[in-house]
Structure 1
Amino acid sequence: MDDGSTDGTEEMIKKLDFPVTYYWQKNGGDAAARNKLIELAKGGYISFIDSDDLLMPDAIEKMVDVMESETEDVIVY
């Protein structure tokens, strides 16, 4: 969710060579953006990654592995 950025994010997304679902909204803050994404979510997991976050290439795979190996509801960070 692009929460009203003016840094060229949309143009960068359009240049990617893989599919990305991109949403833009007028700046409303982190909570508004995340609430909207929860409404739009279609998958089994939700992850919020901000512009100042850095993930290792296998981070999502490892998080999913942990979540799928647990029998309880879990939060992985």
Structure 2
Amino acid sequence: MVEKKNKNLNIELECEEKIISEKLRFGRVRSMMMSQLREEYGEKIANRSLARINKRISIGSKMTKIHSEEFLI
């Protein structure tokens, strides 16, 4: 059970790494790359990985905005 969970985690992390690499290289994730990731890892894992990364970026942007507003007051 633990081995299966670790294997799934490794697969998701591998998918996330590819998405992050794509975002760093092109500034976004190309639809062709997402198609390849969905084919390789499955639709559920690829979509969930992209959503997690976008959520982290969104939260980071909000925190940056909050911290910059603190210095403006």
Same fold by TM-score, threshold 0.5 exceeded? no
Q: Which has the larger radius of gyration?
A: 2
Q: What is the TM-score of this pair, normalised by structure 2?
A: 0.30
User: Relative contact order (C-alpha < 8 Å, sep 6+): which is higher?
Assistant: 2
Choose between structure 1 and 2: higher helix proportion. Answer: 2
TM-score for both structures, normalised by structure 1 = 0.29
